[in-house]
């Protein structure tokens, strides 16, 4: 049986969404479904897949979020915004909603057009201004968990850094074992925007945007006196995300576009 799906993009992060409240995807091996369908060029291709399921609490629904390598992740800021719009468009929730993730309850508001604003879980495990040694080089970093773990490294020229080398090296560094970490290169631009590039755990490469990474970068930009809330972040896709720090709460706002809708055939994952 073919499975209806949405392909969505949140500022450059792309996802496959399936309404799995009736369990339609449960008979397919989960690892196969995720890795094969998310593979670019040979299937739909995406950074990850979201399965929307019935809530077991008083929230509107719960999600299961998987990276393209099949690993399940606690949170995804851009995915959360897309989930909000997906739920609204499919009548699963109103324009204001809450849903369960492994990181906790997320609140979302679908605004006019394609904009969605989410309140993320409270960041924790914050550690400022220390170094990690990578092949004899001391890298000045900070780290925080904004739903998933992130390292933030402020640099002078963000385009001049080999993000695959440093991203992979820090992601797999023993200091962050066994779970690993996401890695963000950050640079404050003359126009006041925070330019950010992210190496994402589970994708194992640079993604075009990362919502929780933007939140991590903004937290340390504000701490360093480089910015004040709200902060606009320019992602690698060229699209913008806005991070708000208000009364101890963290919000992420930006576009959540429906790229296309379709039906997933068995040929998308049986190869």
Which residues are designated catalytic? 76, 210
The β-bridge relationship of strands 96-101 and 61-67 is parallel
- Work out the end-to-end distance of the chain between its first and last CA atoms, rounded to an integer number of angstroms: 17
SS3 for 134-201 is ECCEEEEEEEEECCCEEEEEECCCHHHCCHHHHHHHHHCCHHHCCCCCEEEEEEECCCCCEEEEEEEC
Contacts 24+ apart (CB under 8 A), 203-207: 203/47, 203/48, 203/67, 203/68, 203/69, 204/69, 204/168, 204/171, 205/164, 205/167, 206/163, 206/164, 206/167, 206/236, 207/12, 207/13, 207/47, 207/236
Q: Give which of 227, 259, 263 is closest to 243, Cα–Cα.
A: 227
């Amino acid at each position: 049986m073919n499975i209806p799906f949405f392909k969505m993009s949140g500022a450059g992060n792309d996802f496959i969404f399936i309404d799995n409240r009736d369990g339609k995807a449960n008979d397919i091996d989960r690892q196969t479904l995720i890795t094969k369908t998310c593979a670019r060029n040979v299937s739909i291709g995406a950074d990850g897949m979201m399965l929307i399921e019935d809530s077991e609490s008083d929230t509107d629904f719960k999600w299961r979020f998987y990276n393209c390598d099949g690993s399940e992740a606690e949170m995804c800021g851009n995915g959360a915004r897309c989930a909000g719009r997906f739920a609204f468009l499919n009548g699963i929730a109103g324009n204001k909603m809450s849903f369960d993730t492994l990181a906790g309850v997320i609140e979302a508001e679908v605004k006019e057009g394609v904009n969605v604003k989410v309140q993320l879980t409270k960041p924790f495990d914050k550690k400022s201004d220390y170094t990690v040694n990578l092949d004899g080089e001391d890298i000045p970093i900070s780290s925080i968990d904004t739903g998933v773990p992130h390292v933030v490294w402020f640099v002078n020229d963000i385009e001049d850094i080999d993000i695959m080398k440093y991203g992979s090296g820090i992601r797999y560094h023993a200091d962050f074992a066994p779970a690993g970490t996401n890695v963000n290169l950050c640079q404050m631009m003359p126009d006041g925007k925070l330019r950010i590039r992210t190496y994402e755990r589970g994708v194992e490469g640079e993604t075009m945007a990362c919502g929780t990474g933007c939140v991590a970068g903004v937290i340390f930009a504000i701490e360093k006196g480089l910015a004040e809330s709200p902060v606009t972040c320019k992602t690698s896709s060229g699209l913008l995300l806005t991070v708000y720090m208000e009364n101890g709460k963290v919000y992420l706002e930006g576009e959540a576009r429906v790229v296309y809708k379709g039906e997933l055939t068995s040929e998308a994952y049986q190869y």
